[in-house]
Amino acid sequence: MNSMDLDRANHWVLRKQHLTVDSETDDILQIVSDVGGLHATSPTTPYLSLLARCHDFEKKHLADALYVKKSLGKVRCVRKTIYILTKEMMPIAYGATSRTVEKASRRYAEFRGVSPKEYGDVSQAIVAMLGGEGMTASAIKKALKTQLDVSAILYLMCDQGLLVREEPEKGWKDKNHRYSLFSEFFPDVDLGSMDETEAMTRLVQQYLRSFGPVTENDIVWWTGLGKRKVRAALSRLQEQIVPLGISGIEGDFVLLRSEVSLVNHSSARQRPTVNLLPSLDPYLMGYKERERYLEHRRCSYVFDRSGNATSTILLDGRVVGVWDFRQDEAPVVKLFLFEKVEPDLLEDIYAVARRVGRFVAGGEVQVQECHAMVPLTKRSAGSVMSPLKDC
């Protein structure tokens, strides 16, 4: 395979990302593994990412996997971002990124006024305090009777593999986690079981499996490892990958050799695929080179100045608009379409919007079209979470 057309490339990735009708599944562990982990900086994002990929997803399914069955967990890893990973993925992500992540959280703790000695003393006290139970940051701070920035200390402890972010106090939209000892919560997970070189190689391999075909810049962006380390990992994987071009966009792409025949024999889509993805969804955040799914002139409506993606409307893997949710007396899903679409496709978009709205609101919702949007690059940080706030 020397080349692939863009439509086939997008459809192939959509299937791998469980975003086509024939690839949907209710096996959320399989989804998490196949999409390279769920972005979990925003508490609602992983729930909405799973809703887009499952036949019959309910909020309790993810909560049970995270906090009851403990088959998934939250780890800060690539690009210093919190991800939901399977237990098998945790040592890979931790081994590949922990030095960078821990260095950043140490600096942050010192910036927040926590000296290395204070961190050592307080972290030991927290470990002793949390034996057998989980506590919130506010409860830990109160018990310690300290004026130090406990949240910064807890972040560093999580990044060292001492603690794990457990169930929030107030449900799926809450940002305030309880914290437990990692060794008690995941007694069968050894974060230090893999050396850095092997972990980086497997992380890049995992990324290729989830997002390929990709460019070197895509891999560097997603992993956050830097070009030198990515190139070294690709060199170790050279027998497993093949180069190719994608017609319609520039760049040198690579694909896992094991996928070539699968791509060639993949079935064509029967009808257009419509998805509503949340902000920071893996599909949108997986690439640095975004021309594959978005015209350059539309980028400022989808990505902020830091490269964070807002909530999007996809048609066959291409971004055709932005959506938002407003919880008022009558909850509304708002849509901003870049261009006019055919009536039957608009009907499909409305149907998916109503499904997402019912999931968020717990009842029926209205759908409203907006006719203007302020670009995210002209707005303040965090605007990706409410892109149509002023509509």
Per residue in 39-96, pLDDT (tens digit) is 999 999 999 999 999 999 999 999 999 999 999 999 999 999 999 999 999 999 999 9
pLDDT band for position 132 (cuts 50, 70, 90): confident
pLDDT score at 4: 87
Question: Please, what's the b/e burial string for 251-270 (b: 16 or more CB within 10 A of its CB; e: otherwise)?
Answer: eebbbbeebeeebeeeeebe
Residue 21: which CATH number? 1.10.10.10
- The answer on 135 and 55 residing in a single domain is yes
- The answer on 165 and 93 residing in a single domain is yes
Looking at 243, 264, 285, which one is the last position of a domain? 264
- Would the pLDDT of 264 be above 90? no
- The answer on 255 and 171 residing in a single domain is no
**If phi over 0 gives left and psi between -120 and 50 gives alpha, with beta otherwise, what is residue 265?**
alpha
Residues 362-385, mean pLDDT to the nearest whole number? 93
**If phi over 0 gives left and psi between -120 and 50 gives alpha, with beta otherwise, what is residue 5?**
beta
Structure tokens, 296: 């350059």
252 and 23 in contact (C-beta within 8 Å)?
Answer: no
- The answer on 243 and 134 residing in a single domain is no
Give the rounded distance of the alpha carbon of 71 from its chain centre. Answer: 17
Looking at 246, 264, 282, which one is the last position of a domain? 264
pLDDT score at 263: 84
pLDDT score at 256: 96
Domain annotation covers residue 161: yes
Structure tokens, 202: 């497997």
- The answer on 164 and 33 residing in a single domain is yes
- The answer on 301 and 260 residing in a single domain is no
Mode of pairing for the β-strands spanning 82-86 and 72-76: antiparallel
- The answer on 247 and 159 residing in a single domain is no
Q: Summarize pLDDT for 195-206 with one digit per residue, the tens.
A: 999 999 999 999
Q: Work out the widest C-alpha separation in the chain, in whole angstroms.
A: 64
- The answer on 319 and 367 residing in a single domain is yes
Question: Please, what's the b/e burial string for 125-154 (b: 16 or more CB within 10 A of its CB; e: otherwise)?
Answer: ebeebbeeebbbbeebbeeeebebbbbbbb
Domain that holds residue 299: 294-385
Q: Summarize pLDDT for 142-193 with one digit per residue, the tens.
A: 999 999 999 999 999 999 999 999 999 888 999 899 999 999 999 999 999 9
**What percent of the chain stands above pLDDT 70?**
99
- Integer angstrom CA distances of residue 368 from 231, 314, 324, 351, 365: 47, 17, 10, 12, 10
- The answer on 147 and 18 residing in a single domain is yes
pLDDT score at 258: 94
Spatial separation of the C-alpha atoms in residues 294 and 289, rounded to whole Å: 9
Closest CA to 336 of 345, 349, 348: 349
Mean pLDDT, the chain, as a whole number? Answer: 94
- The answer on 162 and 95 residing in a single domain is yes
Rg (CA), the chain: 21
Q: Summarize pLDDT for 278-310 with one digit per residue, the tens.
A: 999 999 999 999 999 999 999 999 999 999 999
**3-class SS string, 352-389:** HHHHHHHHHHCCCCEEEEECCCCCHHHCCCCHHHCCCC
Question: Please, what's the b/e burial string for 304-329 (b: 16 or more CB within 10 A of its CB; e: otherwise)?
Answer: beeebbbbbbbbbbbbbbbbbbbeee
Looking at 154, 185, 216, which one is the last position of a domain? 185
Task: Flag whether the pTM goes above 0.85.
Answer: yes
Spatial separation of the C-alpha atoms in residues 253 and 173, rounded to whole Å: 38
Residue whose tokens read 């066959």: 316
Domain annotation covers residue 5: no
Handedness of CA 171, 172, 173, 175 (dihedral sign): positive
Spatial separation of the C-alpha atoms in residues 25 and 57, rounded to whole Å: 9
pLDDT score at 269: 64
Beta strands in 81-205 (DSSP E): 82-86, 135-136, 163-168, 177-181
3-state class (DSSP) for residue 318: strand
Structure tokens, 211: 């997002």
Torsion of CA 192, 194, 196, 200, to 10 degrees: -130
- The answer on 67 and 172 residing in a single domain is yes
- The answer on 65 and 151 residing in a single domain is yes
Specify the DSSP element, H or E, that contains 4: strand 3-5
Q: How many domains does the chain have?
A: 3
